[in-house]
């Protein structure tokens, strides 16, 4: 019996926290390189696909009240196939945590703590993540409820300072290159929405599980709007060509802000302090779900021991890439594994569920 309970609003924040992270910094460059000035259209399209996918997940959760995919996957497709699916999710979560920790550490070192070794930053992030994970989903929810609105407010305040440098004529013409570049950019743009799949694991914690779909759609909508705002501002300030040449366009436009008479000279440092909570909350949610899978597959009552055992493994994944190119490669592997699981597993389980229901009623 699940003792922890989350409200619908907490689920909204949890999913938002899981999705928004590295994408704030990298998405404008990633989508801009393929879609140019039409990047905002691709973001809306990717967000719509995410809404469809999460609706299927919520449907599954409502068919099995009080149970997560850890319980109903083996029931629907058999113990062996169910175990393979759960192990694939476990591998995906661990790879995702490792790469996000590494990217976050690299960015933090580059823009904020340039004299601090990457390994030290990684250990610091894993320590914070582990502390929250050990205290359970309610502690994580309360942390996110406090930090996410504050970080989002500060982010939007900082972004407003870029308005004076914008030229919105740079996002025109709409669909000037046709629809093909948009289709080419869609998969990599969808990567930035990944995180909503944690609903498969945390829906049983909801006080009102029937509200899972609405909560998920709100969180994806908020993420989509935030990504569109950030991407349009980056293109409007830098131009479509310059966006593709800058590693972290969001930080680039903020670094160039000059506020007359302000006592803060470097707003990019403020941006980093705003962004780090977004990265940490993403790490926490995936770390928690990974420990949940492993502990329940092993038949353990608590996830805490497993969460601690995962720290050295995640640290190893984070430090193995030797440079940014290898980090990107690992990140792409994790993303494609996640997309494959999101695209195949929920639909597969729904079809099996409907087939079994039809056989029972026949």
Each residue's pLDDT tens digit, 185-241? 999 899 989 999 999 999 999 888 889 999 999 999 999 999 999 999 999 988 888
Query: pLDDT at position 92, please?
Result: 95
Query: pLDDT at position 114, please?
Result: 82
Rounded CA separation 133/128 (Å) = 9
Let me know: does 238 contact 247? Beta carbons within 8 Å.
no
Answer yes or no: pTM beyond 0.85: yes
Distances in Å between the Cα of 247 and the Cα atoms of 27, 56, 93, 171, 253 are 10, 35, 25, 20, 12
Query: pLDDT at position 207, please?
Result: 87
Query: pLDDT at position 258, please?
Result: 64
Query: pLDDT at position 265, please?
Result: 55
Rounded CA separation 130/290 (Å) = 12
Q: In sequence order, what E strands does 243-325 have?
A: none
Query: pLDDT at position 193, please?
Result: 92
Query: pLDDT at position 252, please?
Result: 82
Rounded CA separation 141/132 (Å) = 10
Burial of 124 (0-12, 13-18, 19+ CB in 10 A): middle
- CB count in 10 Å sphere of residue 246: 17
Q: Which fold has domain 8-333?
A: Amino acid/polyamine transporter I (1.20.1740)
Write out residues in the chain with pLDDT < 50, as ranges.
Answer: 1, 263
Query: pLDDT at position 263, please?
Result: 47
Work out whether the CA dihedral 214, 217, 223, 228 comes out positive or negative.
negative
């Amino acid at each position: 019996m699940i003792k922890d309970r989350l409200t619908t609003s907490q689920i909204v924040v949890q999913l938002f926290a899981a999705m928004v992270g590295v994408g704030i910094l990298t998405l404008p460059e990633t989508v801009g390189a393929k879609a140019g000035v039409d990047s905002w259209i691709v973001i809306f399209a990717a967000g719509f696909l995410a809404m469809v996918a999460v609706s299927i997940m919520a449907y599954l959760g409502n068919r099995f009240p009080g149970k997560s995919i850890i319980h109903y996957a083996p029931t629907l497709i058999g113990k062996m196939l169910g175990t393979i699916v759960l192990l694939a999710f476990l591998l995906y979560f661990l790879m995702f945590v490792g790469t996000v920790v590494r990217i976050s550490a690299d960015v933090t070192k580059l823009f904020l703590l340039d004299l601090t070794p990457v390994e030290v930053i990684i250990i610091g992030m894993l320590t914070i993540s582990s502390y929250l994970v050990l205290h359970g989903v309610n502690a994580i929810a309360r942390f996110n409820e406090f930090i996410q609105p504050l970080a989002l407010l500060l982010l939007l305040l900082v972004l407003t300072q870029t308005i004076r440098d914008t030229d919105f004529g740079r996002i025109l013409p709409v669909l000037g290159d046709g629809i093909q570049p948009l289709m080419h950019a869609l998969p990599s743009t969808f990567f930035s929405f990944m995180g909503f799949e944690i609903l498969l694991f945390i829906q049983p914690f909801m006080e009102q599980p029937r509200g899972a779909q609405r909560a998920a759609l709100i969180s994806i909508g908020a993420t989509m709007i935030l990504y569109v705002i950030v991407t349009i501002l980056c293109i409007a300030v830098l131009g479509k060509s310059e966006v593709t040449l800058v590693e972290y366009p969001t930080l680039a436009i903020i670094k160039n802000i000059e506020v007359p008479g302000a006592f803060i000279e470097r707003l990019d440092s403020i941006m980093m302090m705003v962004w780090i909570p977004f990265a940490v909350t993403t790490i926490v949610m995936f770390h928690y779900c990974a420990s949940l899978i492993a502990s329940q597959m092993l038949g353990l009552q608590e996830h805490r021991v497993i969460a601690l055992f995962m720290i050295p493994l995640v640290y190893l994944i984070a430090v193995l890439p030797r440079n940014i190119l290898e980090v990107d490669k690992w990140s792409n592997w994790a993303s494609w594994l996640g997309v494959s699981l999101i695209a195949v597993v929920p639909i597969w389980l729904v079809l099996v569920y409907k087939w079994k229901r039809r056989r029972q009623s026949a």
